Amino acid sequence: MAQARRQCTVSANVDKEGSACFDLKFVQPFNGVLAAASLGSSSVSTEFALRLDSERARRGLFFGTEFARQSKELAACGYVDLSTQSLCHVSGKLWNGTWRLTTDWSLRDLDMRQPQPSLSLQQERLRSLKTSLKSSLSYRYTQLTAELAGPPGDVAFGKLHALAEATIRSRESGDFWPWHLHLAGVMGLLLPVGKSCAQDRFHLGGASGPFALKGFAENGAEPRARRMSETLPKDKEHNALGGEAVASVFLG
């Protein structure tokens, strides 16, 4: 394995709609540990993260920890998600795949900056503390994740989600029209003790992310509640509430 070197990267971008983003990342290796600090800012989110990861395996295991502070505006949902998160993880290889075990401590806040949120959103918990244990297994074209949350945090749930994808390509080198077929599927299930938090539910739609539906509006494919205002644009007149089960199939 090549030895890691000190790195510093800066990037900025402005898209055609005028949304800007800026990212700064600094990586410093020392004594077998890779330290990385990053700062990212865009028109809808701001994030600071500090990560420590082992460069080499110890008895076949890799260790790491992460501290992050994030503010993300979820326009479809009608609120800003503020979170302070601390993670510790250990990972390794299993057959031809990989596994990871993660402990998660997260303090989450809902900041309803958009005017006239729906009554359902106003009834959500504004602050929650999540302490959970998450395990994931990746093998070839599949990924399985299970998360169990409970005390000392004040939310309790079990959460499962699975992702599978496969690509089929034409094998004939002489094909005049070479082709390929991509199939992907996502399934998820949230089993809360009591009422679930908005941040723990699945949000389906939009143009990116593991639960995305291409061609759908951000809040157009999940339970919604009408905002308490009659003057909002049509694409912003609802809050997306998310659901406790999700299933999505993509063929392209």
Q: Where in the sequence is the domain holding 242, given as residue range(s)?
A: 75-251
Kindly state whether residue 212 falls inside one of the protein's structural domains: yes
Kindly state whether residue 69 falls inside one of the protein's structural domains: no
Is this model's pTM higher than 0.85 or not?
A: no
* Neighbour-count burial for 95-123, b at 16+ CB within 10 Å, e otherwise: eeeebbebebbbebbbebebebbbeebee
Counted domains in the chain: 1
How high does pLDDT run on average in the chain? 83
Kindly state whether residue 54 falls inside one of the protein's structural domains: no
Q: What is the pLDDT of residue 189?
A: 96
Q: What is the pLDDT of residue 80?
A: 81
Higher local confidence (pLDDT), 147 or 24: 147
Instruction: Residue 190: give its domain's CATH number.
Output: 2.40.160.50
Kindly state whether residue 38 falls inside one of the protein's structural domains: no
Kindly state whether residue 32 falls inside one of the protein's structural domains: no
Kindly state whether residue 3 falls inside one of the protein's structural domains: no
Res. 2: pLDDT tops 60 = no
Residue pair 166/183 in contact (Cβ under 8 Å)? The answer is yes
Token digits of residue 96: 């031809």
pLDDT digits 0-9 by tens, 42-91: 777 889 999 999 888 888 899 999 999 998 877 666 678 889 999 999 99
Kindly state whether residue 44 falls inside one of the protein's structural domains: no
Kindly state whether residue 111 falls inside one of the protein's structural domains: yes
